[in-house]
């Protein structure tokens, strides 16, 4: 790994990302108006272009201020990004629907509400910004993650009340975990962050209904009506990668070069990665790099494809215990592979670059789900069940990896938490929470 520290966000403490700031009763001053204009323009630039590609000179020009005016309110680009993402996340969260009515109806409304919010391209880019924040702004990433969790607190309280009243079974774990899982099921985890087309209204309704059915009743009730969650993307229209001019290079030297390049891309992102640093880390000339890969883009594609193939480890198929015990073991195997630090870094990198390299990001997701689907089909067949539908496989993948939880926040995950996550996943899939 290249040893160098990534730039960090300002170290001052920020207020918790919980509610919008109180509005002043007095008319906004000229300075307030100028700051608001800078924030609005910066929001558009950061959410459209990402942190690395956004340029403060263009922000200043579009906001009709001198660049120095930005520094009157924000210490640097990192401080501006922090302020933009916090404010935008709050603004993107409308009030949730009522909890009155039958359980299925309430949960479907809540699930549909979540999918409606997240189907907004603006929100998708906020979530993508969160992934960038993990690498450069760990405090902001943690705050954003906790903010999103708090948005489902009312749903967690509702589920807790249902369990206390005996209207659903005892919750195997914290109510907030299960509220988050229902939302994750509806959104198919990080699927749409990896470049998949956002669902249309009818698809969102079908996904919400399927998620609630699976959540409450398990796979037996849900599989027949399973939609193709995270349907395959249309053929990619990205230009084909340039064909490199082949030069003789030993396998060992090639591996060193690819590893150094991937480390640089995972540490800095595509835009900010430096071929110069790769050249020094791998002790390979710049000329050799360009002869082998043609361009920085060609290098990125090649090393990411290579790493996706290296991480395609076959999941062991559990052979002992009943169906639920085998699903616990399978979910745990998937989670352990998901949490390998290099796998998480690749996942975050592909989310960050999904708009530029959609075929790589989508191929990565498809390969992960297909790997899990093969093992799940064998487990289900051994228990006398039919082959799981694509929707059920995608749902199991989301449950096993806990959606965005570990991708969007960087923290160690201990043995007890991993085991509990696997148990919750298997319980939902086999029995649901209504049993």
Q: How confident is the model at residue 249 (pLDDT cuts 50, 70, 90)?
A: confident
In this prediction, residues 116-140 reach a mean pLDDT of 76
Tell me the C-alpha distance between 425 and 57, whole Å.
48
> Is residue 88 predicted with pLDDT exceeding 80?
no
> Is residue 156 predicted with pLDDT exceeding 90?
yes
Average pLDDT, the chain: 84
Structure tokens that stand for 308 in this block? 């996706």
> Is residue 221 predicted with pLDDT exceeding 70?
no
| Tens-digit pLDDT profile for residues 288-322 | 999 999 999 999 999 999 999 998 888 999 999 99
In this prediction, residues 221-249 reach a mean pLDDT of 53
More confident residue, 254 or 230: 254
CB distance 175 to 383 below 8 Å = no
Can you give the pLDDT at residue 10?
Answer: 45
10 Å Cβ neighbour count for 4? Answer: 10
Tell me the C-alpha distance between 318 and 368, whole Å.
18
Contacts 24+ apart (CB under 8 A), 249-254: 249/288, 249/292, 253/284, 254/292
Structure tokens that stand for 431 in this block? 């029995």
> Is residue 329 predicted with pLDDT exceeding 90?
yes
CB distance 202 to 327 below 8 Å = no
Q: How far is CA 116 from CA 122, 123, 131, 344, in A?
A: 12, 10, 21, 27
> Is residue 142 predicted with pLDDT exceeding 50?
yes
In sequence order, what DSSP letters do the residues of 130-171 get, joined into one string?
A: HHHHHHH-HHHHHHHHHHHHHTTHHHHHHHHHHHHTTSSPPP
- Of 165-169, 223-227, 343-347, 407-411, the poorest mean pLDDT is in 223-227
| Tens-digit pLDDT profile for residues 75-84 | 888 888 888 8
Can you give the pLDDT at residue 9?
Answer: 45
> Is residue 191 predicted with pLDDT exceeding 60?
yes
Can you give the pLDDT at residue 178?
Answer: 93
In angstroms, how far is CA 7 from the centroid of its own chain?
22
More confident residue, 11 or 350: 350
Tell me the C-alpha distance between 415 and 423, whole Å.
12
> Is residue 237 predicted with pLDDT exceeding 50?
no
Q: Dmax over Cα atoms in the chain, in whole Å?
A: 71
| Closest C-alpha to 421, from 400, 407, 404 | 400
Tell me the C-alpha distance between 432 and 213, whole Å.
8
Can you give the pLDDT at residue 7?
Answer: 43
Tell me the C-alpha distance between 144 and 150, whole Å.
10
* pTM (two decimals): 0.82
Classified as helix, coil or strand, 179 is helix
Tell me the C-alpha distance between 265 and 272, whole Å.
8
Tell me the C-alpha distance between 32 and 27, whole Å.
9
Can you give the pLDDT at residue 4?
Answer: 35
Tell me the C-alpha distance between 298 and 244, whole Å.
8
Task: Determine what percent of the chain falls in helix, strand and coil, rounding each to the nearest 5.
Answer: 65, 0, 35
Can you give the pLDDT at residue 224?
Answer: 52
> Is residue 417 predicted with pLDDT exceeding 50?
yes
> Is residue 197 predicted with pLDDT exceeding 80?
yes
CA atoms within 13 A on the CB side of 110: 29
Can you give the pLDDT at residue 18?
Answer: 46
Can you give the pLDDT at residue 16?
Answer: 52
């Amino acid at each position: 790994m290249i040893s160098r520290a990534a730039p960090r966000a300002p170290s001052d403490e920020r207020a918790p990302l919980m509610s919008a700031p109180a509005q002043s009763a007095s008319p906004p001053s000229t300075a307030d108006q100028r700051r608001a204009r800078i924030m609005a323009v910066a929001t558009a630039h950061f959410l459209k272009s990402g942190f690395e590609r956004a340029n403060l000179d263009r922000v200043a020009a579009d906001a009709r201020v001198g660049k120095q005016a930005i520094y009157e309110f924000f210490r640097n680009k990192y401080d501006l990004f922090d302020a933009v993402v916090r404010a935008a996340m709050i603004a993107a969260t409308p009030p949730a629907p009522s909890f009155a009515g039958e359980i299925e109806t309430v949960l479907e409304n809540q699930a549909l509400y979540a999918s409606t919010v997240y189907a907004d391209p603006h929100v998708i880019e906020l979530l993508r910004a969160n992934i960038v924040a993990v690498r450069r702004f760990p405090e902001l990433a943690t705050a954003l993650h906790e903010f999103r969790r708090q948005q489902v607190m009312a749903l967690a309280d509702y589920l807790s009340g249902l369990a206390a009243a005996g209207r659903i079974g005892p919750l195997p774990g914290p109510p907030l975990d299960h509220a988050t899982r229902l939302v994750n099921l509806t959104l198919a985890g990080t699927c749409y962050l990896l470049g998949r087309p956002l669902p249309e209204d009818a698809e969102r309704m079908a996904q919400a209904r399927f998620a609630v059915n699976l959540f409450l009743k398990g796979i037996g009730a849900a599989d027949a009506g399973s939609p193709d969650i995270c349907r395959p993307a249309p053929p990619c229209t990205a230009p084909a990668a340039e064909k490199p001019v082949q030069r003789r290079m030993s396998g060992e030297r090639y591996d060193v070069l690819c590893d150094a390049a991937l480390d640089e891309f995972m540490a800095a992102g595509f835009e900010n990665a430096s071929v110069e640093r790769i050249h020094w880390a791998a002790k390979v000339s710049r000329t050799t790099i360009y002869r082998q890969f043609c361009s920085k883009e060609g290098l990125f594609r090649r090393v990411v494809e290579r790493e996706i193939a290296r991480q395609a480890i076959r999941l062991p198929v559990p052979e002992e215990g009943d169906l639920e015990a085998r699903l616990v073991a399978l979910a745990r195997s998937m989670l352990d592979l998901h949490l390998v630090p290099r796998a998480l870094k690749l996942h975050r990198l592909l989310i960050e670059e999904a708009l530029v390299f959609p075929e790589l990001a989508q191929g990565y997701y498809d390969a992960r789900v297909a790997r899990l689907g093969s093992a799940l089909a064998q487990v289900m067949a051994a228990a006398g069940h039919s082959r799981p539908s694509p929707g059920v496989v995608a749902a199991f993948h989301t449950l096993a990896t806990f959606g965005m939880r570990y991708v969007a926040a960087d923290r160690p995950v201990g043995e007890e938490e991993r085991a509990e996550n696997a148990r919750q996943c298997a319980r939902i899939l086999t029995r649901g929470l209504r049993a």
